[in-house]
Amino acid sequence: MVETHSKKAPSRRQVRRGRPAAQLANGETGNGSVQSLDRALRLLESISEHEHGVTLSDLAQETALPPSTAHRLLKSLEARQFVRQDSERGLWFIGVRAFTVGSAFVRMRDIVAIARPIIRRLVDEVDESANLAMLDGNRLVYLSQIECRQMIRAHALPGAGAMAHCSGVGKALLAALPDERALAIVTAAGMPALTEKTITDVDRYLQALATVRVQGYGVDDEEQSLGMRCVAAVVYDENTDPVAAVSVTGPSARITSARIAALGAKVRAVADEVTAAVGGRHPD
């Protein structure tokens, strides 16, 4: 969410390390996927986690593939422009075709295009950066950000992930779910203390979600990064299910405790406007 060096949750590559799925006689893995496709997708996932490129040897280690196999698959992916290689440095990067395919998901969700002009008005009004985010499994994914003109501001790249338990958008989205489902999400992802203010106790977290439901917006009070606050509210789809969240983020020196309630009302009004614009319905 913000440019920080706080502790992060384990990456997918850390979880993936180990032996690959057992190969069946027909060349498929135990889950029915073609082995070469499964391996190529694992390589793509691993490369996507290295913003500054990754070597063949590191890719082979992270995906538990022999270097020769990894190289063969990478060359095939390169031919289709899903990856590209900086031959001088020996680094592999995500290619333009992968970006095109991945962007199709966002294009299919008209909510991003519809929400941007509405969120831009919010940024102009409060002079803080605003985001649109959604839950993807147990983590948050930022779909869009409009930055303010302030010298010090929050920064979240589209596609970047974050933990749900310590963010304003996470609290807003989880509060729109039954407690059992919300707890299943945060406990599966883990609730590490990223700052001294992060809520890591389940009972306290349930109380925090109850507060969000009453006031209509979630707050990250320096729980993800010290010195930064976030206020967020939910966007609903046509079935009154939470589909995304709008947030305003900035330094706690500007987003003071006295300002949070007013910002919460503005963010909730914007989230309700986006809900109506995409044909959604608020549960109330």
**pLDDT tens string 152-191:** 666 666 667 788 898 999 999 999 999 999 999 998 888 9
Task: Assess whether 133 and 226 both reside in one domain.
Answer: yes
Task: Assess whether 87 and 176 both reside in one domain.
Answer: no
| Assigned domain for 283 exists | no
Task: Assess whether 88 and 117 both reside in one domain.
Answer: no
Cα torsion 27, 31, 34, 37 to 10°: value is -130
* Structural domain that includes position 193: 109-277
Task: Assess whether 131 and 179 both reside in one domain.
Answer: yes
Residues of the chain falling short of pLDDT 50: 1-32
Task: Assess whether 126 and 265 both reside in one domain.
Answer: yes
CATH number of the domain where residue 67 is located: 1.10.10.10
- Reported pTM: 0.63
Task: Assess whether 90 and 183 both reside in one domain.
Answer: no
pLDDT at 76: 94
pLDDT at 229: 94
Q: Alpha-carbon distance 229 to 264, whole Å?
A: 12
| Assigned domain for 7 exists | no
Task: Assess whether 142 and 259 both reside in one domain.
Answer: yes
Number of domains making up the chain: 2
pLDDT at 198: 93
| DSSP string covering 218-231 | EEEESSSSTTEEEE
Task: Assess whether 57 and 135 both reside in one domain.
Answer: no
Task: Assess whether 271 and 161 both reside in one domain.
Answer: yes
Q: Alpha-carbon distance 148 to 154, whole Å?
A: 9
pLDDT at 21: 42
| Assigned domain for 154 exists | yes
CATH number of the domain where residue 117 is located: 3.30.450.40
Q: Which of 94, 123, 143 is the last residue of a domain?
A: 94
pLDDT at 32: 45
Task: Assess whether 124 and 159 both reside in one domain.
Answer: yes
pLDDT at 254: 93
Task: Assess whether 115 and 248 both reside in one domain.
Answer: yes
Task: Assess whether 138 and 259 both reside in one domain.
Answer: yes
Tokens of 240: 């009154």
